[in-house]
Amino acid sequence: MTNKNPEYDFKWCPGCGDFGVRRALESAIERRRIELELPVENNVVVAGIGCSGNLLHLLEGPQPFGFHGIHGRTLPVAMGIKMGRPDLNVLIVAGDGDFLGIGLEHIAPQAARNLDVAAIIMDNAVYGLTKGQSSPTSELGMITSSTPYGKPEDSMNPLRLYLSMGVSFVASTMSSKVKDMSRMITDAMNHPGFAIVHVQSPCTTYHDTYEQLKGNLKKGIEPIAWDIPDDHDPTDADAAQTAADAGGVPLGVIYRDDQRPTFHQRVAEMGQKAKPRDIEKLIGSHAV
Ligand code: SF4
């Protein structure tokens, strides 16, 4: 997309976790294109503001449609697209600042609706694009450019939040797990309803957490990422809550409920009950 928009120059820093997310998303879109024999234009990517949102412009290969819009408003935009064109596969790419900061208020209503979109959230616990301010997922006490004496708020647990709000598909991974993430994104796209793939995507410039995530045996650092056991039942809400509360970074699908109707299905059902009314009578009913 950069080539097609030479007036813009979107770049990521070397080693940024978002490169891995981009690769996973590209391969998931390609898989969908081949498996469903649908053109790449059947996919729409709605981007938030931040380094993560720039993913839209850095996608390589066949290009889906894209909408890079308003800070924190990926979900309302995605809802508009999905309601207007339910045949499209609507994806969101956003970061922790955009989605969980200014955009937080939109998650609960879309979870209640079970809007049929898939969101890929790149969490680096910092506002990278604006030079490293603290974000909702920054740890308590973290020194950043906006919290020189340490962040005074607790860190948010996004997985717990998604579950408590009723998001019907919740997965968690990290950016170096490209293959697993690609499969997860495919599952999220195929899931009927609101799906979130939450990715730990380190910011190598302002908050490099690779070592924490993967561990470093030589330095005696244990990894904080851990595989969700094979016997985890993602349809069990209590088991999902336990995984979300366990600390560290769980890797895998935490929760899924494929039985809930989507918002579009509910609206379509309502539409069948609605009685068509004569347009002339409707206009006349408002005449003075
Ligand atoms: Fe990635 Fe951080 Fe650079 Fe942004 S500032 S591109 S998040 S490494």
The list of the chain residues with pLDDT below 70 reads 1-7, 286-288
Report CA(180)–ligand 1 centroid distance (Å): 22
Question: Quick one: pLDDT at residue 4?
Answer: 57
Question: Quick one: pLDDT at residue 1?
Answer: 44
Report CA(23)–ligand 1 centroid distance (Å): 16
Question: Quick one: pLDDT at residue 2?
Answer: 43
Question: Quick one: pLDDT at residue 136?
Answer: 97
Contact 192, 117 (CB under 8 A): no
Q: Is 96 in the pocket of ligand 1 (CB under 6 A)?
A: no
pTM, to two decimals: 0.94
Question: Quick one: pLDDT at residue 274?
Answer: 86
- Please name the amino acid found at residue 8: Y
Residues listed for the chain: 288
Neighbouring C-beta atoms of residue 183, cutoff 10 Å: 18
Predicted confidence (pLDDT) per residue in 221-268, tens digit: 999 999 999 999 999 999 999 999 999 999 999 999 999 999 999 999
Question: Quick one: pLDDT at residue 69?
Answer: 85
Question: Quick one: pLDDT at residue 287?
Answer: 59
Report CA(131)–ligand 1 centroid distance (Å): 9
**Of all helices (H) and strands (E), which one includes residue 207?**
none
Q: What residues contact residue 47 under an 8 Å CB cut-off, 6+ apart?
A: 53, 54, 55, 56, 66, 67, 68, 69, 74, 92, 93, 94
Q: Is 126 in the pocket of ligand 1 (CB under 6 A)?
A: no
